[in-house]
Chains A and B, each alone.
Chain A
Amino acid sequence: MSPPAWLGYDWLAPRFIGWMLEGVVQTAWLSLLVCVAASVLGIVLAALQPSRLRWPVNGWLAAHRYTPLLVQLLLWYFGVASLLPEGAMLWLNAPHAFGPLTWPSFEFLAAFIALTLYSSAFIAGEVEAGLRGVPAGQYAAAHALGMRPWQVLRHIVLPQALRLVYRPLLGQYLAVIKNTSLTMAIGVAELSYRSRQVETETLLTFQAFAVATLLYLLLVLGTQLAGVRLQTAQRGYGDA
């Protein structure tokens, strides 16, 4: 019995599976960098909430939360690029190597910046909720022990706050993995981009998207499972 016509009669050649796996590596690498950078920035933004900078910070957060990520990507890729002097653009578009590290492509750089700023606005919201959940007595006690404000935050309040909002934070990291798919629009060769490439090359539409979807499921559900495991492991350690 032959498969139905719309399925096509071929499976993807190993070469195309290779393209897909390169896409997965790019997606995972970009996600990891964005998660780290956006967490740092998100914590800083959340810590600034009670300060005198509250209004500008709120404006910044709203601007990043209430505009589509795709528009922010295009704004960085086309818009900000147009502001840079010609020399800088030439340098950014040319390959550079620093020892074993290679300087990323301009597409990757723009994707990293836009995704980090976008994600940090949402991570800041979660961290802020966590900070509000830590009892005021904890701040007061740490101050009374003579700690400086940033020491209170770093050693006393932040660890408790992050534990409180662990699950929502994990959700934000999963969103980062999914959101990297939009960077295909500016030409980053991540998984979605590769699936389109394979689709145009082979005309095996179903196979190309099925493989890409499966790989996304593995990435996202795998990260989720690892995150939940990590939490239970730490809890067990704390209780012991």
Chain B
Amino acid sequence: MHSEVITANLDYLLLGSWPQGQLGGMALTLLMGLAAAALASVLGIAAGVGLVMGRPAWRRLLGVACGTLRAIPVVMLIFWCYFLLPVLFGVDVPGTLTVIAALALIGGAFLAQTVQAGIDAAPAGQWQAGLALGFTRWQVLRWLILPPALRMMLPSFVNQWVSLLKDTSLAYVVGVAELTFVAAQVNNREQVYPLEVFAFIALCYLLLCSLLAWAGRRLGRSPQQA
């Protein structure tokens, strides 16, 4: 192994050209992953609730939209956001934001399915009990159904977050300087030891994703065990 190719480029791989220039590398990967995971969770919960509580016409529309998003590759949606958003709105959207938007939409579409199933799994008796106590449908959802349902769904959410963190690497195809892109840059510049460069970033991702999965499992333990 030739580790000098890693040590010589370590700052660039981890931080990009920051602080002189733009933040990049692993730091940008983490930021994009966090933003996409947070947005996808909000979208997923909103869409999942909409799929249960909305009017029939809206539910059908939402269902078709989510199904379409789940059926197309992330790369295609990134192309749509990256090449067409600027043309449609006539503004220059930074590549980083378009990738976050694409990841949030796809992640949200997958989470919506989880949330819908989680709410549907709540026993009918809980709804009836809540309504009998004079709660409105939305109050029953907010105070009785959602809290335990979301706790049950935590493993699915963590899986989706891990997926999103991995999928930030697709920003490579539109030239956003996250970890995979800077690694390819280093590889092109050095022209030697590609195995070392890509094995190193694979290890970085492995570390981040395992940590996230592990933290999710810890968080998901029932309170009695804590």
**A: which residues have CB within 8 A of B?**
6, 62-63, 65-72, 74-75, 78-83, 174, 178-179, 181-182, 184-185, 192, 195-196, 199, 205-206, 209, 212-213, 216-217, 220-221, 224
B: contact size bracket: 35 or more
User: Which chain A positions have C-beta within 8 A of B206?
Assistant: 62-63, 66-67
Chain A CB within 8 A of B133 CB: no
Would you call A78 and B172 a contact (CB within 8 A)?
no
Can you list 25 A-B pairs, Cβ within 8 angstroms, ordered by A? Answer: A6-B88, A66-B162, A66-B209, A67-B202, A67-B205, A68-B166, A74-B183, A74-B187, A79-B197, A79-B199, A82-B194, A82-B195, A178-B72, A178-B73, A181-B73, A182-B73, A184-B173, A195-B79, A205-B83, A209-B76, A213-B80, A216-B76, A217-B68, A220-B72, A224-B71
Would you call A220 and B75 a contact (CB within 8 A)?
no
Beta-carbon contacts under 8 Å, B127-176 to A: 162, 166-170, 172-173
Would you call B72 and A66 a contact (CB within 8 A)?
no
Measured in the bound complex, the distance between the Cα atoms of B162 and A213 in whole Å is 25
**B: which residues have CB within 8 A of A?**
68, 71-76, 79-80, 83-84, 87-88, 162, 166-170, 172-173, 180, 183-184, 187, 193-195, 197-199, 201-202, 205-206, 209-210, 213
Measured in the bound complex, the distance between the Cα atoms of B193 and A186 in whole Å is 17
User: Which chain B positions have C-beta within 8 A of A178?
Assistant: 71-74
Within the complex, the shortest CB–CB distance from B84 to chain A, in Å, comes to 6
Contact of A205 among B74, B75, B84, B187 (CB under 8 A): B84
User: Which chain A positions have C-beta within 8 A of B166?
Assistant: 66-69
Closest residue of B by beta carbon distance from A63: B206
Contact of B198 among A75, A185, A205, A213 (CB under 8 A): A75
Would you call A182 and B75 a contact (CB within 8 A)?
yes
Would you call B169 and A79 a contact (CB within 8 A)?
no
Would you call B205 and A71 a contact (CB within 8 A)?
yes
Measured in the bound complex, the distance between the Cα atoms of B72 and A78 in whole Å is 27
Closest residue of A by beta carbon distance from B87: A6
Measured in the bound complex, the distance between the Cα atoms of B87 and A209 in whole Å is 14
Within the complex, the shortest CB–CB distance from A22 to chain B, in Å, comes to 17
Measured in the bound complex, the distance between the Cα atoms of B183 and A164 in whole Å is 42
User: Which chain A positions have C-beta within 8 A of B71?
Assistant: 174, 178, 216-217, 220-221, 224
Would you call B73 and A62 a contact (CB within 8 A)?
no
Would you call A66 and B198 a contact (CB within 8 A)?
no
Beyond A66-B205, A75-B202, 16 additional pairs, beta carbon < 8 A = A67-B205, A67-B209, A68-B169, A70-B180, A72-B202, A74-B183, A79-B197, A80-B195, A82-B193, A178-B71, A178-B72, A182-B73, A184-B173, A185-B173, A206-B84, A216-B76
